[in-house]
Homo-oligomer: A and B are copies of this chain.
Amino acid sequence: KQSEQMRKNGTRPNIIVMLMDDMGWGDLGVFGHPAKETPNLDKMASEGALMTDFYSGNPLCSPSRAAFLTGRLPIRNGFYSTNAHARNAYTPQKIVGGIPDSEILLPELLRKAGYKSKIIGKWHLGQQERYLPLNHGFDEFFGSTNCHFGPYNNKNTPNIPVFRNGEMIGRYYEEFEIHQKTGESNMTQLFIEEALKFIDEQHAAGNPFFLDWTPDATHTPLYASSGFLGNSQRGLYGDAVMELDSGVGRILEKLRDLKIDSNTFVFFMSDNGAATYAKEQGGSVGPFLCGKETTFEGGMREPSIAWWPGKIKPGIISRQLGSIMDLFTTAVELAGLSIPKDRIIDGSSLLPLLLNGEEDPNKAIFYYRGDEMMAVRQGLFKAHYWTWTNSYSEFKHGTNFCPGQNVTGVMTHDQTNHTDSPLLFNLGLDPGEKYPIKSSSAVYKEVMPSLEAVVKDHKNKLVAGEPQLNICDKAVENWAPPGCVKLNKCLPIPKSNPFNCTWVH
């Protein structure tokens, strides 16, 4: 109905997705962080719809971003590994795989409706040339294929390139500095300026546009620019949050200045939960359990705000379940297009909710870790079929996904199979997943069968995609990315030697 309406009136609003990196649910003022570092986001929430129960597509960067741009779970679009059961995988420099050509990315679709699309920040869907954003529907790209890890010595490992469109224009820690000791870097300012410029240009050209604004300052190694360093009360992480928040404010202000705010749908969220393993360098999971890499709430519930002045009523607080994949479907509908019919799209449109207040109580969230469906949520109930955080040996060596937390039998350090009697939680009563509902209880007996039916239906229809994250090879690292010749920055490429990537978490 909504999409019909959209197709009829053909408004084709601009679409901006602000996708943060490792920012936690609990980092926003409006979600309770005591440091209250996000005045612009809090204001955005008060002017739009705050989504309290909105999820990433995965507890890790690459698969979550692939889920967004394809509208499909990573198990379908190939962003997982079969190298080891229930382990997360992503796209490091040495990954051979990437986003398959067979996947239809959001900007590819939007192009059909005349949209110009740009991604600013971290791509992370593969870094070999055939996987680059401009080969998958984006018109412009400013940012990097990978995380800003480093510095490297360009011998054992090349420094990560920063791209403009199809060519690299420098490398992190070389042309694009991130000061190792202080964390000072101008990157977020560059990402903000790029966004403002793109909006100006597309507005001037009269194009509807899609901006995937995905700065990564809250992913370790953290960074902030000189104007923000030391401004927060929680160190570099808070400084980065404040700088990103200011960027949100400046982008929304730009829309207002150009008087296109009522013609621009903006959605803010993060790609996965707070990196609790980074301790004081990571974000906040608020009242939730564990963080990034896990399928507990801290790993996948995201700070999420929808904003569209004049269309979305101000001050909505919605507990409707939703996921990053819904942004795909919502954007397609906003553009007046139809979603692909030849494949399962996991996202559903948010417009009935956001424009008409229509809720979908049957919406289910599937929590995957690598190749395994770990948990499912419908309504207030969440059932864990498999639990684990990280291995005991990793934990013993200091990697803790749940620092300060301990829920016995839930935060397991081995892969525990509960499929015969899933661990059930009422996330309304117990958002922190602290009090498993007894399997002998009336509630359990009433709720579990309907969840089981949801899972059964999901698994029956599931056709897993070809896993993209199994093979690694040092030869595919960023030794000589497109553009390196011009810059005289090509490095010698080692001999190809493919091997099975190993994933510990």
Residues of A within 8 A of B (CB): 26, 29-36, 46, 50, 52-53, 232-235, 238, 279-280, 284-287, 289, 317, 319, 380, 403-407, 426, 428-435
Contact = CB atoms under 8 A, between A and B. Distances in A.
A287 B434 contact: no
B233 A280 contact: no
B36 A317 contact: yes
A170 B241 CA distance: 55
A381 B361 CA distance: 45
Nearest to A430: B280
Given A34-B431, A35-B431, 13 more contacts: A32-B32, A34-B286, A34-B287, A35-B319, A36-B50, A36-B317, A46-B46, A234-B429, A238-B428, A279-B434, A284-B431, A286-B287, A405-B405
Contacts of A235: 428-429
Given A26-B287, A233-B380, A404 B36 contact: no
A404 B280 contact: no
Contact of A32 (B33, B46, B238, B406): B33
Contacts of A286: 32, 34, 286-287
Contacts of A233: 319, 380, 428-429
Given A34-B287, A35-B428, A429-B234, A317 B406 contact: no
A294 to B, nearest CB: 14
Contacts of A26: 32, 287
Contact of A287 (B287, B430, B433): B287
Most buried by B among A279, A285, A429, A433: A429
The 8 closest A-B pairs by CB, nearest first: A32-B32, A406-B406, A233-B428, A404-B434, A280-B429, A31-B32, A34-B52, A36-B317
Nearest to A39: B317
Contact of A52 (B36, B52, B280, B317): B36
A52 B32 CA distance: 9
Nearest to A289: B404
6 contacts: A32-B33, A34-B319, A35-B431, A233-B428, A234-B429, A404-B406
Nearest to A411: B404
Contacts of A30: 30, 32
A299 B40 CA distance: 31
A26 B430 CA distance: 13
Nearest to A380: B233
A486 to B, nearest CB: 43
Contacts of A317: 29, 36
A414 B26 CA distance: 31
A429 B53 CA distance: 26
Contact of A407 (B34, B234, B404): B404
Contacts of A403: 434-435
Contacts of A52: 34-36
A262 to B, nearest CB: 23
Contact of A234 (B29, B428, B433): B428
A425 to B, nearest CB: 10
Contacts of A405: 404-406
Nearest to A31: B32
Nearest to A29: B317
A26 B33 CA distance: 10
Contacts of A431: 34-35, 284
A434 B278 CA distance: 12
B319 A36 contact: yes
Nearest to A301: B34
A272 B392 CA distance: 37
A379 to B, nearest CB: 9
A31 to B, nearest CB: 5
A287 B27 CA distance: 10
Contacts of A430: 234, 280
